[in-house]
Amino acid sequence: MSTSPGAAVTRAASAVRPSRQVPVLWLALLAAPVATAGNAAVLILGDLGRSLGTTTATASWLVTVFALALAIATPPFAALLRRRGTRAALWLAATCVAAGTALVAVSPWLPLLLVGRAGQAAGGAGLMAVAVNLAGTTRRMGVISAGTGILGAVGPLLGERLTDAVSWRAALSVLAVTLLAVPAVGRHTAPAPHPAGDRFDARGALLLAALSGGLVLLPSHPLPALAVAAVAAALLAAHVRRRPDGYVPAAALRSRPFRGSVLTALALSGSYFTLLFAVPRLIADRTGRPMASVAVGQSAALIAGSLLTLGFAAVAARLGRRTVRGVLLAAGTLAAVTTVLAHDAIVLLAALGPAVFAATAANATQSVVAASAVSGRRRPAAIGLFQLGYLMGGALGPALATVLVLR
């Protein structure tokens, strides 16, 4: 096992490197606002629903679509980095963020808002991939990870404050901040390399996207989503047998450590994001406090859990894989059980600490397992699939919270 998640991700990244090292604060600014943008809608779903003339459950699609697009776009941008280099990926991602934010800022219709959020998320996935690719060292990866965790933690509070002071459109447009870093990062990127010789596996990418979408829709539309997921899974399995080195490498799927790491990250991420959206409503229902009043306490719990992740990741390599996974699963279970049983606002908020710790520490430590499960040129694809699994939890969480609590 690698001594750190940052080293594993860096080794798994594209062989394309910058001509000069990018200052790490620019990379943090490139990646961290994506987490803020994803969480900014946690406390304003009611405002969104009232403004759009719809229900809170329907408004939650603005969150689900963002998370799903972020997940689905991650592997294609990893492939683009490998084939075309960082410069092409950087500017394509920036264009997606700018176009999506423009739609969010002006559109009066929910369907067009959903398109805008999907564009933002796709661009955010590319910017995160570029930041990881350009990090270069474990210490620089740590700065990026810390920034992402902390800004993600303050996302709900920031979204609630921007909605009160300006509008919910401002809250949903915070990702535009990342564009400030694009010119600075672009000046340090290397010229695009010659395209890779292997042909892009478009069919594999399409089938994986269909499978991911079907799984995310399971909580809200069980029967049609199950049908889509089942058909996509069958077709994808057959495709992987025909093209074992394609978009979904067969070597990764055959690896038990890889499968275990992905399932762990998916489960803990899904649990965390479910609680993230459910806890404010549960506090309102069980204690009578308005959801907006929990913003500060929620941010404090999330920041504490994120900081705990940094310390745990530093010692995880000495604990062994089973011990690490056991700690993470125990923390996630504690958070879920506490949320189900507690009726005190402070206890419910405190449960978010172990929840975010379990999810973010799983992302950090299990990515090492995923990277070491395959070798050589398959590692970028394996890391992309692992991140897809983690981000799928971010898409499933709001959908589960909507079905269980928000209706």
Interatomic CA distance for residues 124 and 207, integer angstroms: 22
Which DSSP letter does residue 85 get? -
Q: Is the CB of residue 137 less than 8 Å from the CB of residue 121? A: no
Q: Measured on CA atoms in the order 252, 253, 256, 259, is the torsion positive or negative?
A: positive
pTM: 0.80
Instruction: Please state the φ and ψ torsions of residue 166, each to the nearest 5 degrees.
Output: -125, -80
Surface-to-core class of residue 256, CB atoms within 10 Å of its CB (0-12 exposed, 13-18 middle, 19+ buried): exposed
The pLDDT assigned to 10 comes to 43
> How confident is the model at residue 368, as a pLDDT?
78
Q: How confident is the model at residue 90 (pLDDT cuts 50, 70, 90)?
A: very high
Statement: residue 4 has pLDDT above 60:
no
Q: Are 272 and 355 in contact (CB under 8 A)?
A: yes
Better-scored residue on pLDDT, 379 or 240: 240
pLDDT given at position 103? 94
pLDDT at residue 13 is higher than 80: no
Higher pLDDT residue, 210 or 135? 210
Tens of pLDDT, residues 384-394: 788 888 888 87
Q: What is the mean pLDDT of the chain?
A: 82
Residue 376 has pLDDT above 90, yes or no: no
Kindly state the average pLDDT of the residues 350-367.
87
* Amino acid type, 239: H
* Residue 14: pLDDT over 70: no
Binning pLDDT at 50, 70 and 90, where does residue 194 land? low
* pLDDT given at position 406: 60
To 10 degrees, the CA torsion angle through 318, 377, 261, 152? 90
Between 252 and 176, the more confident residue is 176
Percent of the chain at pLDDT > 90 equals: 26
N- to C-terminal Cα separation, the chain: 44
**Backbone φ and ψ of 307, nearest 5°:** -65, -35
Q: How many helices (H) and strands (E) does the chain have?
A: 19, 0
pLDDT of residue 292: 61
Res 287: pLDDT: 81
Looking at residue 236, its pLDDT comes to 93
The pLDDT of residue 235 is: 95
- pLDDT score for 233: 93
| CA distances in angstroms from 122 to 41, 77, 358, listed in the order given | 17, 9, 25
User: What confidence tens digit (pLDDT) does each residue in 93-151 have?
Assistant: 999 999 999 999 998 888 999 999 999 999 999 998 888 777 755 456 656 766 777 78
Residue 223 has pLDDT above 80, yes or no: yes
Mean pLDDT across the stretch 61-90?
Answer: 83
Tens digits of residue pLDDT in 304-357? 888 888 788 778 878 888 899 999 999 999 999 999 998 888 999 999 999 989
How many residues in total does the chain contain?
407
- Position 17 scores a pLDDT of 45
pLDDT of 229-282, one tens digit each? Answer: 999 999 999 999 999 888 888 888 888 999 999 999 999 989 998 898 888 888
- pLDDT for the residue 8: 41
In contact, 332 and 355? CB cutoff 8 Å: yes
pLDDT at position 6: 43
Report the pLDDT value the prediction gives residue 249, as an integer from 0 to 100: 86
pLDDT in the model for residue 85: 80
Which of 53-62, 102-111, 191-200, 273-282 is predicted with the least confidence, judged by mean pLDDT?
191-200
Structural tokens at position 266? 């998916």
Task: Measure CA 11 to chain center.
Answer: 21
Q: Give the C-alpha distances (Å, rounded to integers) separating 375 from 77, 80, 379.
A: 20, 20, 6
